[in-house]
Amino acid sequence: MLFPTFSFLFLFLPITFLIFYVFSLKFKKFSVVTILLTASFIFYLLPNYSHAHVILSSIFVNFLLSRQILLRNKQTGKKILVIGTIFNLSVIGYYKYAFFASDIFNSVFDSNWFVAEKLLPVGISFYTFQQIAFLVDTYKYGNTQYKLSHYSLFVLFFPQLIAGPIVHHSQLMPQIASLNKKLFNWDMFNIGLLFLCVGVFKKIILADTFARIANPVFASVDNGATLSMTDSWLGAIAYTLQLYFDFSAYSEMAIGLGLMFGVKLPLNFFSPYKAASIVEFWRRWHMTLSAFLRDYLYIPLGGNQKGKFRKYINLFLTMLLGGLWHGAGWGFIFWGALHGTYLIINHFSRYCGLSQYLPKTFSIIITFIAVVFAWVFFRAESLDGAINMIIAMVALTDTPNQFFIPYQLFFIFCGLGIVFGLPNVNQTLNYEGVDTPTAQLTEKWKCLSIKPGIAFALGGLVGLTIMFMPEPTVFIYFNF
């Protein structure tokens, strides 16, 4: 179920919220956790009923394994942790990588081993990583004695279930446990509705507009066409902007929906194209994935504790596996390898003191161009298509323009102006993430003087926009 659709915004969300609000106000003895859990089940299972057994078995198996880790000694607990990790990686490996692995095996050994390509369960990459982190923390700290209903909502909470953020249990579980004790907060609801409206606008008006520019260019290059430099840069920058607005839109809608139900989700997106280095880019782009890769992969590999050379190897491996997490394909592997190389160059330049001599504006431009080149491998359907696109971007040819239309250049400049010239929504609405005390946030929000009427009026405008706009495309991160 997509957020920016009539069925979600004007059927599922109002019904769920009305039931949640009435019970949180009038029937305190009935758990609102149960309401949110039921709504989350419905949200996921209605369009994804064929994969109901995957997510339900994942929840129950991981919960039972976490209980066993708590009950056993460290040695036995470590074995159970290994079993749980293998279970989770096996499930995601079967659905996401089995076909790709069989294709590689057949190419290398000239065999005929056939594995049918599976329909990927929606959100499997996100809820799998979330639960692996939960098992690791259960083994290391033993601070995960939660109820099954609370754990289930931690995994299934519908604002973040489909495309993140990857929420740590310490961020969400205490909020879930206190839902029944808290009074309904209209300040949080109003800010949440504003986040939702901005996200819907970004998705429908901005992200999908840039998709209509980028898609024909990439389709052409994937089919073997030779592009002009103008066309190739048009497609690459259009996709760069599409992905930016698409992912930031989902992140803001997730935060907004969480706030409407009294739950704060972590920041996952913070103006990444304003970064002056690749290191900074990864502190701003998909922030929860970056934190997961750092805490549960880079640091266990040794981090920066075993010398410079080992640090660079660990950085490269982390990004390589991060690329593979996004999808089973050579393009994602090259994208991860490219970012791993970028990070090595970035750290080495800092070590040598070279980066301090570059003006910040120049550093931002260089970082942005490097990111644009990497996104080509991320977007192209084939490695050949990506390479052809890169060649067209750097080679002066006499190939005539096929896709360039002057008004599209206006949209590109508008998009770049928004990205580089405007503050992000989190700053505008004073949202600092899940770790900020509620009292501090509430005081800041009161300064905004946002009244329910204004928030609902914006919601109505968004509704009218949806009624007259084409059906929105699927969020890009739904595919991961």
Residue 250 near residue 221 (C-beta atoms within 8 A): no
Residue 166 to residue 145: CA distance in whole angstroms: 20
Residue 326 is a catalytic residue: yes
DSSP, collapsed to helix, strand or coil, labels residue 403 as coil
Residue 24: CA count within 13 A, CB half-sphere: 23
Are 299 and 321 in contact, with CB atoms under 8 Å apart?
no
Sign of the CA dihedral running 153, 157, 163, 168: negative
Structure tokens at 231: 């066309």
Q: Which residues of 117-146 are buried (b: 16+ CB within 10 A; e: fewer)?
A: eeebbbbbbbbbbbbbbbbbbbbeeeebeb
Report which secondary-structure segment, H or E, holds 339: helix 330-352
Whole-number Å distance between alpha carbons of 182 and 40: 20
Peptide linkage before 165 cis (omega within 30 of 0)? yes
**In this structure, are residues 329 and 312 in contact, taking their beta carbons and an 8 Å threshold?**
no
Pull the structure tokens for residue 435.
């770790």
Query: 16: Cβ–Cβ under 8 A, 6 or more apart, which residues?
Result: 35, 36, 39
Whole-Å CA distances, 145 to 68, 172, 182, 286: 11, 14, 21, 28
Query: How far is Cα of residue 224 from the mean position of the Cα atoms in its chain?
Result: 31
Please pick, among 168, 169, 286, 326, the residue that the annotation labels catalytic: 326
Helix (H) or strand (E) run with residue 384 in it? helix 383-394
Structure tokens at 228: 């002009």
Q: Which residues, 6 or more positions from 473, have their beta carbon under 8 angstroms from its beta carbon?
A: 207, 208, 211
**Tokens of residue 364, six digits:** 């931002």
| CB 244 within 8 Å of CB 475 | no
Residue 425, H or E segment: helix 425-428
C-alpha span between 261 and 255 (Å, rounded): 10
Alpha helices for 261-329 (secondary structure H)? 278-284, 287-293, 308-326
Is there a contact between 149 and 33 (Cβ–Cβ < 8 Å)?
yes
Catalytic residues: 326
